[in-house]
Amino acid sequence: MLSLLIGIPLLGSIWIGLIPERAGKSIHRRLALGFGWVLFGLSAGLLLAFDPHLGSLQLAETMAWIPQLGLVYELGVDGISLPLVVMTGLLVLMAIWASGQVERPRLYYSLVLMLAAAVAGAFLAQNLLLFFLFYEVELIPLYLLIAIWGGPQRTYAATKFLIYTALSGILLLIGFFGLSWLSDAHSFTYTVLQAHPLPLVQQTLLLVPILLGLAIKIPLVPFHTWLPDAHVEASTPISVLLAGLLLKLGTYGLLRFGLQLLPDAWEQAGPWLAGWAVVNVLYGSLDALVQQDMKKLVAYSSIAHMGYILLATAAATPLSLVGSVFQMVSHGLISALLFLLVGAVYTNTGTRDLRLLQGLLNPERGLPLIGSLMVLGVMASGGTPGMVGFIAEFTIFRGSFPVFPLQTLLCMMGTGLTAAYFLLMVNRVFFGRLSEVATAMSRQQVRERLPAVVLATLVVVLGLQPAWATHWIEPTTADLAKSVALSAAATEGVVGKLTCFMACDSS
């Protein structure tokens, strides 16, 4: 079943790629939508096949591929990857839906589906080399999607993205090879490597390249500069995929490789990582405060929100780990929603400049639905109770505070700043008298708004009923936290850590 999640979009990519442009104006889009629905259906179907009571790997598939290299086709899903795979299915469908009529649809939809296959593969891979393969494959379609369908500075942004992410891949590969070579097992399989932990020094040495590689992908300050450029130049659906899925490859890597495979080094680096999280949150938020481009503002907001995930992963308590995975889901939904809405503003007004836009909430001539959803989206991003962002951030802060009280408090300031920069944006763009640039907007079709409505609904539903998401996550993160605590205790003989774990677990 898991192979289908990679195979179906890949098949779609090839199929669409084979249909010539002259075959029809909308055939590529219709096919892509069809494959998007199938992918979403399959990913949602995982929820039925997956046993939420088990924290272990499920639905595993294994096949030898190039045994000489240690490359084994190993797939599996657990509580960390399951929500991300389901979100992949959802956001790919939303991105295709939101794409509308594009130039060169054959190539465009083919690349989007190839990207979907690569991202799903990376989340499902249970082998370091297989993960790396998918991680690198994802670069090509995304580079082309920005470079061909992007804004005026698309070549610059796409090249920057390519260089940064390729460097990230090289660093990860160094770390992965090191993990395999230094381990007794000489394997690239996650479970095998987890069963053969390395000494602290070796773990620390390997954590550096892996962490740097992931820091570029997430991105963490100061490796973040490719992201605002890529977002600003990418078209709306690609920004949705970029923020909703691609960044999550980095944060997923923190849990999977940093915490799971290098627990002792991770535990040692914890305070530094929490400090880094604070820098990320505050720097991203302060940068967002001074942006004049709506898309750049949302991009910096994304950087800030990645800091919360780093904080939670650094704390590594059962609650904070649930929060970190939930924040990935929350940020995926909210940022995708915000990028869709910013895209709608841009499509209708021709600008994203906060100095030019005003009064778009105007019920008669503005974008009242877009404005209302934007208010909802920024409230969710700012952590307003009743929405998914609140649950994610509250869980992270509650779970991280016992371990890193100061860092957690500083990160909490970020939620205040989030409210500040988003309220400034909403106030400027949506309130007041409708600006002249927006008075001649044409009528909107409701179906064009449906992706945003779907995402907004999920933001509220999961905010009111978070257990519908967390009960898939919790057993795995609890097991992970337990194994990390046990490993740390075994290495250092520190009873305190276990005590803390027990305290956090009981809370």
Partner 1 sequence: MTFTLPRDGSSLPLSHFFLAGLDPLDQVRISPILQRLEAGGALLPDSQIHRLEVIGILHSYGEVLDAYSRNLIFIADHQFLELFPAFKYFNGEITLGKWLRYLWHDRINYEFAEYCMKAMLWHGGGGLDRYLDTPEFVQRAKAAIRAKIRFNPFLQGLGILFPDFALEQVRMLAMYSGLGQFWRVMSDIFLSLSKRSETEPHLTIPEVVAHIQQGLVAAAGKPIAYAPCIWGRRYEIIPLSAGLTFLPDTAIPYVEAVFFRSFPFMGTVSYNAQAGQIPHEQADFAYGALYADPLPVGSAGIPPTLLMQDMMRHLPPRLREHYRRSPRGEEDLRVKICLSFQKAMFCVTTAALRALAPFPLETQDPQQQKANREFLTPWLQRLAGSRLLSMQEVFGM
Distance CA(94)–CA(454), nearest Å, equals 9
Q: What 8-state DSSP symbol labels residue 199?
A: P
Q: What is the amino acid identity at position 366?
A: G
Q: What is the amino acid identity at position 455?
A: L
443 binds partner 1 (CB under 8 A): yes
Among 359, 383, 389, 399, which residue interacts with partner 1 (rule: CB under 8 A)?
A: 359
Q: For partner 1, give the closer residue by CB, 53 or 447.
A: 447
Residue 58: strand pairing partners: 77
Q: For partner 1, give the closer residue by CB, 75 or 360.
A: 360
Distance CA(230)–CA(150), nearest Å, equals 9
Using DSSP's 3-state secondary structure scheme, residue 77 falls into strand
Q: What 8-state DSSP symbol labels residue 58?
A: E
482 burial (CB, 10 Å; 0-12 / 13-18 / 19+) is middle
Distance CA(96)–CA(33), nearest Å, equals 6
Q: What 8-state DSSP symbol labels residue 70?
A: T
- The footprint of partner 1 on this chain (CB under 8 A) covers a number of residues equal to 15
Q: For partner 1, give the closer residue by CB, 25 or 365.
A: 365
364 binds partner 1 (CB under 8 A): yes
436 binds partner 1 (CB under 8 A): no
Among 194, 384, 431, 483, which residue interacts with partner 1 (rule: CB under 8 A)?
A: 431
Among 68, 433, 445, 447, which residue interacts with partner 1 (rule: CB under 8 A)?
A: 433
369 binds partner 1 (CB under 8 A): no
348 binds partner 1 (CB under 8 A): no
Among 434, 456, 458, 485, which residue interacts with partner 1 (rule: CB under 8 A)?
A: 434
DSSP H stretches of helix in 19-101: 27-49, 81-99
Q: Report the half-sphere exposure of 260 (CA within 13 A, side-chain side).
A: 24
Q: At what angle do helices 467-492 and 81-99 cross, to 10 degrees?
A: 140
Among 432, 478, 483, 492, which residue interacts with partner 1 (rule: CB under 8 A)?
A: 432
Among 362, 381, 407, 408, which residue interacts with partner 1 (rule: CB under 8 A)?
A: 362
Distance CA(408)–CA(402), nearest Å, equals 9
345 binds partner 1 (CB under 8 A): no
Among 442, 445, 447, 495, which residue interacts with partner 1 (rule: CB under 8 A)?
A: 442
Nearest approach, Cβ of residue 24 and partner 1 (Å): 29
365 binds partner 1 (CB under 8 A): yes
Nearest approach, Cβ of residue 362 and partner 1 (Å): 6
Q: For partner 1, give the closer residue by CB, 95 or 361.
A: 361
37 binds partner 1 (CB under 8 A): no
Among 319, 334, 441, 504, which residue interacts with partner 1 (rule: CB under 8 A)?
A: 441
The answer to whether the peptide bond before residue 222 is cis (omega within 30 degrees of 0) is yes
Binding site for partner 1 (CB under 8 A): 359, 361-365, 431-434, 439-443
